[in-house]
């Protein structure tokens, strides 16, 4: 049974520098161009974990769009990507230093995602679960598609998960109040910053937003809560954190692959931590 992942596909311009930025001058850095987008990253990690996966989104009919779709195909991800003439594929500039990152985002064609794109993807046979990136919900142009995806997937009998995606836009849109306007998912993923915006670092205190909640705490591990109880898993030791880009996306993929295979919450947390640790040990957000 296949996981359908819906969200952004972008070109990541990854800039890994040492020390502070020399504003107004030069800063030595390693620069790499690669496929990105939180949802597309999760889809690639799901494929790497052996989970059948389809990615749905929108890209420009341009060279970056060709490259991004080809990368997903090569990673073993089936794609339902609408290509749009005259719109650029999304781009994110990622500045990484000392395990922290700052992103500059041009969502481009991603904002054109509509309910028809979602319905087209949901019509594919064999789907079991829908995973949505909240970046879709943060943009007024495509938010209706995100809300439709969560509601329609549950109507069709799929389980659903939502990645809270990013603390700053979540805070700007009202945090917990914003999630109250979104169809309730079966599972919510949030990192510590996002969980604080929603009201608590304790996943049990966030069950107003989803049937189950996972809070990711980086090296400190991750925690789960649902109506039946809680579970925790310690973080994985990493010799060197090279680039945190995509670590949360990888965690979600590891967790979902294990959880949908019937493993319990503790084992799924361990699987998420394993892929998250793999992600931070390399440059870029993909396997």
Query: Which residue, 200, 37, 35, 17, is CA-closest to 113?
Result: 37
Active site residue 249: yes
Q: Which of 8, 117, 226, 249 is catalytic?
A: 249
What one-character-per-residue DSSP string does 234-252 give?
A: PPPP-S-----TTHHHHHH
- Give yes or no for a contact between 103 and 94, defined as CB atoms under 8 angstroms apart: yes
Residues 110 and 137 sit within 8 Å (Cβ to Cβ): no
Beta strands across the sheet bearing 127-133: 78-84, 53-60, 2-6, 127-133, 159-163, 187-191, 212-216, 222-226, 229-233
Q: Which residues contact 284 (CB under 8 A, 6 or more apart)?
A: 12, 14, 32, 34, 36, 243, 245, 246
Structure tokens at 202: 């304790």
Give dist(CA 167, CA 96) in Å, integer.
17
For residue 221, give the nearest of 268, 170, 175 by alpha carbon: 268
Q: Are strands 212-216 and 2-6 parallel, antiparallel or unpaired?
A: unpaired
Residues catalogued as catalytic? 249
């Amino acid at each position: 049974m296949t996981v359908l992942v819906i969200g952004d596909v972008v070109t990541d311009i990854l800039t890994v520098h040492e020390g502070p930025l020399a504003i107004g001058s030069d800063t030595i850095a390693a620069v790499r161009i690669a496929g990105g987008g939180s949802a597309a990253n999760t889809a690639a990690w799901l494929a790497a974990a052996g989970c059948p996966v389809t990615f749905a989104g929108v890209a420009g009919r341009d060279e970056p769009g060709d490259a991004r779709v080809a990368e997903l195909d090569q990673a073993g991800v089936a794609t339902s990507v609408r290509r749009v003439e005259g719109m650029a594929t999304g781009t994110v500039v990622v500045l990484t230093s000392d395990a922290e990152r700052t992103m500059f985002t041009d969502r481009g064609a991603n904002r054109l995602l509509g309910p028809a794109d979602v319905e087209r993807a949901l019509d594919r046979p064999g789907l079991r679960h829908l995973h949505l990136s909240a970046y879709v919900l943060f943009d007024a142009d495509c938010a209706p598609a995100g809300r439709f995806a969560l509601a329609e997937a549950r109507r069709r009998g799929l389980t659903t998960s939502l990645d809270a995606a990013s603390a700053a836009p979540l805070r700007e849109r009202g945090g917990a109040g914003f999630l109250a306007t979104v169809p309730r998912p079966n599972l919510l993923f949030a990192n510590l910053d996002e969980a604080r915006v929603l009201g608590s670092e304790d996943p049990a205190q966030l069950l107003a937003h989803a049937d189950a909640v996972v809070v990711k705490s980086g090296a400190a591990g991750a925690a789960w809560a649902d109506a039946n109880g809680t579970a925790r898993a310690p973080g994985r030791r990493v010799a060197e954190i090279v680039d945190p880009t995509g670590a949360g996306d990888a965690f979600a993929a590891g967790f979902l692959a294990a959880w949908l295979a019937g493993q319990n919450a503790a084992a799924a947390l361990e699987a998420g931590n394993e892929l998250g640790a793999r992600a931070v040990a390399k440059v870029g957000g993909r396997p």
